[in-house]
Amino acid sequence: MTITLYGIPNCDTVKKARTWLADNGHDFTFHDFKKQGLSRELVEGWLADLDWETLVNRKGMTWRNLPDERQASITDNDSAIALMLENPSVIKRPVLVGQGPTSVGFSADQYAIKFGAAQ
Protein backbone atom coordinates (compact mmCIF):
# COMPACT_ATOMS: atom_id res chain seq x y z
CA MET A 1 0.00 0.00 0.00
CA THR A 2 1.22 3.47 -0.86
CA ILE A 3 1.90 5.77 2.06
CA THR A 4 1.33 9.47 1.48
CA LEU A 5 2.23 12.21 3.91
CA TYR A 6 0.34 15.46 3.35
CA GLY A 7 1.56 18.78 4.66
CA ILE A 8 3.82 21.70 3.92
CA PRO A 9 7.60 21.27 3.82
CA ASN A 10 8.55 24.09 6.20
CA CYS A 11 6.30 22.84 9.04
CA ASP A 12 8.45 21.49 11.90
CA THR A 13 6.00 18.68 12.68
CA VAL A 14 5.94 17.61 9.04
CA LYS A 15 9.75 17.64 8.99
CA LYS A 16 9.82 15.36 12.05
CA ALA A 17 7.33 12.96 10.47
CA ARG A 18 9.29 12.83 7.21
CA THR A 19 12.51 12.20 9.09
CA TRP A 20 10.92 9.44 11.20
CA LEU A 21 9.50 7.70 8.13
CA ALA A 22 12.83 7.87 6.28
CA ASP A 23 14.91 6.81 9.31
CA ASN A 24 12.62 3.83 9.87
CA GLY A 25 12.79 2.67 6.25
CA HIS A 26 9.27 3.49 5.14
CA ASP A 27 8.80 4.49 1.52
CA PHE A 28 6.32 7.32 1.21
CA THR A 29 5.21 10.08 -1.07
CA PHE A 30 5.16 13.63 0.23
CA HIS A 31 2.32 15.83 -1.01
CA ASP A 32 2.78 19.55 -0.44
CA PHE A 33 -0.84 20.60 -0.32
CA LYS A 34 -0.05 24.28 -0.68
CA LYS A 35 1.77 23.72 -3.98
CA GLN A 36 0.07 20.56 -5.24
CA GLY A 37 -3.39 21.42 -3.97
CA LEU A 38 -6.20 19.39 -2.50
CA SER A 39 -9.40 18.01 -3.93
CA ARG A 40 -12.77 17.77 -2.27
CA GLU A 41 -12.63 13.99 -2.76
CA LEU A 42 -9.29 13.76 -0.95
CA VAL A 43 -10.49 15.74 2.06
CA GLU A 44 -13.74 13.73 2.12
CA GLY A 45 -11.57 10.59 2.23
CA TRP A 46 -9.75 11.91 5.29
CA LEU A 47 -13.11 12.63 6.89
CA ALA A 48 -14.04 8.96 6.56
CA ASP A 49 -11.50 8.30 9.36
CA LEU A 50 -11.32 11.67 11.15
CA ASP A 51 -13.85 14.24 12.16
CA TRP A 52 -13.53 17.79 10.86
CA GLU A 53 -12.75 19.11 14.33
CA THR A 54 -9.59 16.99 14.36
CA LEU A 55 -8.49 18.15 10.89
CA VAL A 56 -9.09 21.87 11.38
CA ASN A 57 -6.27 23.32 13.47
CA ARG A 58 -8.03 25.83 15.67
CA LYS A 59 -4.84 26.60 17.59
CA GLY A 60 -2.89 27.85 14.58
CA MET A 61 -2.46 31.38 13.30
CA THR A 62 -4.47 30.69 10.14
CA TRP A 63 -7.57 29.91 12.20
CA ARG A 64 -6.98 32.71 14.68
CA ASN A 65 -6.64 35.22 11.83
CA LEU A 66 -10.05 34.30 10.42
CA PRO A 67 -12.86 36.72 11.23
CA ASP A 68 -15.04 35.58 14.13
CA GLU A 69 -18.00 35.19 11.76
CA ARG A 70 -15.99 32.85 9.52
CA GLN A 71 -14.88 30.76 12.48
CA ALA A 72 -18.45 30.55 13.74
CA SER A 73 -19.64 29.39 10.30
CA ILE A 74 -17.53 26.20 10.47
CA THR A 75 -20.03 23.80 11.97
CA ASP A 76 -19.99 20.61 9.89
CA ASN A 77 -18.10 18.60 7.27
CA ASP A 78 -19.26 20.70 4.33
CA SER A 79 -18.28 24.04 5.86
CA ALA A 80 -14.98 22.60 7.10
CA ILE A 81 -14.18 21.13 3.67
CA ALA A 82 -14.86 24.49 2.03
CA LEU A 83 -12.51 26.18 4.50
CA MET A 84 -9.74 23.57 4.05
CA LEU A 85 -9.92 23.81 0.26
CA GLU A 86 -9.94 27.60 0.40
CA ASN A 87 -7.13 27.80 2.95
CA PRO A 88 -5.08 24.56 3.30
CA SER A 89 -2.91 26.12 6.02
CA VAL A 90 -5.81 25.63 8.44
CA ILE A 91 -5.33 21.83 8.26
CA LYS A 92 -3.55 20.24 11.19
CA ARG A 93 -0.37 18.64 9.91
CA PRO A 94 0.78 16.18 8.84
CA VAL A 95 -1.97 13.98 7.50
CA LEU A 96 -0.83 10.39 6.95
CA VAL A 97 -2.73 8.11 4.58
CA GLY A 98 -2.01 4.51 3.66
CA GLN A 99 -1.01 2.86 6.93
CA GLY A 100 -4.25 1.96 8.65
CA PRO A 101 -6.80 4.68 9.27
CA THR A 102 -5.90 8.23 8.24
CA SER A 103 -4.09 10.00 11.05
CA VAL A 104 -3.14 13.59 11.74
CA GLY A 105 -0.30 15.07 13.75
CA PHE A 106 2.97 13.40 14.64
CA SER A 107 4.71 11.84 17.58
CA ALA A 108 7.42 9.19 17.38
CA ASP A 109 5.43 6.97 19.74
CA GLN A 110 2.26 7.34 17.68
CA TYR A 111 4.08 6.39 14.46
CA ALA A 112 5.93 3.51 16.15
CA ILE A 113 2.58 2.03 17.18
CA LYS A 114 1.01 2.73 13.77
CA PHE A 115 3.88 1.10 11.90
CA GLY A 116 4.53 -1.65 14.46
CA ALA A 117 8.09 -0.45 15.04
CA ALA A 118 9.99 -1.29 18.20
CA GLN A 119 11.03 1.70 20.28
What's the N-to-C CA distance of the chain in angstroms? Answer: 23
Q: Which of 40, 24, 14, 35 is closest to 95 using CA atoms? A: 14
Catalytic residue among 3, 4, 11, 66: 11
**Would you say 55 and 84 are in contact if contact means Cβ atoms under 8 Å apart?**
yes
11 is catalytic: yes
The residues assigned a catalytic role are: 11
